Amino acid sequence: MISFDLSHAQIAVIGSGTMGIGIAQLAMINGHSTFLYDLDREKTQQAVDGLHQTFAKLTEKGKMTYEQAQQALSRLRIADQIEALANVDLVIEAVVEKLEVKQALFKQLATICNDQTILATNTSSISVTAIASAIPHPERVVGLHFFNPAPVMKLVEIVQGLKTPIDLCQALKVLMLAWKKISVLTKSTPGFIVNRIARPFYAEAFRALQEQVTTYEQLDYALKQCGGFAMGPCELTDLIGQDVNFSVTQSVYEAFFYEPRYRPSLIQKELVDAGTWGRKSKQGFYRYDDKNQYVTFQPQFITKPSFHADVQVKGAWAQCPHVLERLGLSHALASNDNIIQIDDVDLRLSQGESANIDYPNRKTVLMDWHHDFTQAQAVVLSHNTLCQADDLAKIDAFFAQQQIKVLWISDHPALLTLRTIVLLINEACEASLHGIATMEDIDNAMRYGVNYPKGPYQWMMQLGAEYVLATLNNLYAIYGEEKYRASLYLKQYMAKQQSVIADYSKNLTECA
């Protein structure tokens, strides 16, 4: 019977790369006797030297006292042979991301350690069930996926293999709480939570570039300004490494038996094939100097806007709160459509339509969603071919009155931010449909694992499930591709919501 009290566990970390060192540092700081093992002894010594430097810097910055740093370092043990790990309670491996390597390592550990030893893998996408299948007592194998850098990033994914008992997962949640981490529980499925649900953030960005609707600089600016993301997809993949991000996408795509939602991008493959991997190669989407600085996009204001037009407002604009106030518009006519009519041009909030396909007979401008219109500095717009240069100039001037910059892109259904967010929501719904994780854990995973401003379900509450579903249905109708098919979970959620509303209305009628 495995003991699930890990409060005083002896911990072994295998692998002295960046991730292994980070995990070892966490264990040491949190009071655990910690063994570090790597086949490469020179690399192990470099890791130890690095840990001493790290603790010295933490002391200099006042984040810990000299005594605390020395106590933490005194807990570190270097294992010259793997046999030295025989009596540890928890092994966390952080070796190369290959199934056969991890299986071989755990097979070896199974012959060295006793049956009580918990074997945790830091894999970011490999099946924990598959890793466990090769060893006796597979029930002691669990995923413990830290994010880089491990001492800084708050999230840890606890991955339950097919034979991993829930009690073991709960014990690791307690341990991670003691380490001041936010842990989420996920089933062993390709990409787990974060690396699965995040795929549309990259895929839809690369698709916009492949369809030539915008530039990578404009795209990054739009997702940051309008979506509230800390980094744009091109900046972020440059930071991660285009080769690494592409490899993860490929592995998730293959593991899901070539599900179209995860198909890799030819745009990214070109970068990888060219060796332009981002910051580490000094060129990816951006070019980097010796300090890893790069030039970002900054849109220009119209300095002296001259706006003269008749403006009429229709609809509630509920999906974009404060937009009318921000634009200096105080009254709207009741309508099912959200339209700001500027002379003979209809400005509409996008719901996944195509400006050219859906509005062939009216001058139409489609506006992307903005996460907080009270602070909006820019909006992303597209238009159909009926709009002329003077129409676009009029729209520019209309927004410039309120010090809002306009980013014009080609006709692109659901534009950039809305499209990205509804597909992230849809992917979260698919994960929920398959029982991968709870709504709360999905939201926490995306907020703390990749620093999204909101979790997918928080976005759905903000936008409204009906608006999300309508946008997906419009995308699916236009593209005819399975990747834009709305999740059954979302449809069922909508049906349930409508049923609740119908019952509420019926009760009100009966009471009256």
Kindly list the catalytic residues.
124, 145, 157, 195
Domain extent for 357: 311-408
- Given 188, 214, 231, which residue is the final one in a domain? 188
Count the Cβ atoms, other than its own, within 10 Å of residue 283: 18
Q: Is the pLDDT of residue 511 over 70?
A: no
Answer yes or no: is 38 within a domain: yes
- Residues 158, 242 share a domain: no
- Residues 134, 63 share a domain: yes
- Given 137, 164, 188, which residue is the final one in a domain? 188
- Residues 136, 21 share a domain: yes
Confidence label for 456 from pLDDT (cuts 50, 70 and 90): very high
- Residues 481, 372 share a domain: no
CA 111/CA 90 separation, integer angstroms: 15
More confident residue, 157 or 300: 157
Tell me, what CATH number does 433's domain have? 1.10.1040.50
Q: Residues 303-327: what's their mean pLDDT?
A: 87
- Residues 505, 458 share a domain: yes
Q: Is the pLDDT of residue 79 over 70?
A: yes
- Residues 338, 288 share a domain: no
Taking the model in full, what pTM does it have? 0.94
- Given 350, 373, 408, which residue is the final one in a domain? 408
Q: What is the pLDDT of residue 57?
A: 95
Q: Which helix (H) or strand (E) holds 13?
A: strand 11-14
| Structural contact between residues 73 and 51, judged by C-beta atoms closer than 8 angstroms | yes
Domains of the chain: total: 3
Q: Tens digits of per-residue pLDDT, 273-286? A: 999 999 999 999 99
Q: Tens digits of per-residue pLDDT, 161-192? A: 999 999 999 999 999 999 999 999 999 999 99
Partners of 14 in the beta sheet?
A: 37, 93
- Residues 368, 507 share a domain: no
Q: Residues 474-499: what's their mean pLDDT?
A: 93
CA 8/CA 84 separation, integer angstroms: 18
Q: Which ranges constitute the DSSP H helices of 434-487?
A: 439-449, 456-463, 465-479
Q: Tens digits of per-residue pLDDT, 489-505? A: 999 999 888 765 566 45
- Residues 440, 385 share a domain: no
Residue 67: burial class (beta carbons within 10 Å; 0-12, 13-18, 19+): exposed
Answer yes or no: is 56 within a domain: yes
| Structural contact between residues 128 and 190, judged by C-beta atoms closer than 8 angstroms | no
Q: Is the pLDDT of residue 327 over 50?
A: yes
Least confident of 89-93, 233-237, 507-511: 507-511
Answer yes or no: is 233 within a domain: yes
Tell me how long the chain is.
512
Q: Which two tokens stand for residue 253?
A: 């795509």
- Residues 425, 403 share a domain: no
Answer yes or no: is 95 within a domain: yes
Helix, strand or coil for residue 312? Answer: strand
Q: What percent of the chain has pLDDT over 70?
A: 96
Tell me, what CATH number does 332's domain have? 3.30.750.190
Confidence label for 318 from pLDDT (cuts 50, 70 and 90): confident
Answer yes or no: is 205 within a domain: yes
Answer yes or no: is 1 within a domain: no
Tell me, what CATH number does 26's domain have? 3.40.50.720
- Residues 214, 248 share a domain: yes
- Residues 161, 25 share a domain: yes
Q: What is the pLDDT of residue 5?
A: 87
- Which residues touch 86 (CB under 8 Å, ≥6 apart)? 112, 113, 114
- Residues 363, 435 share a domain: no
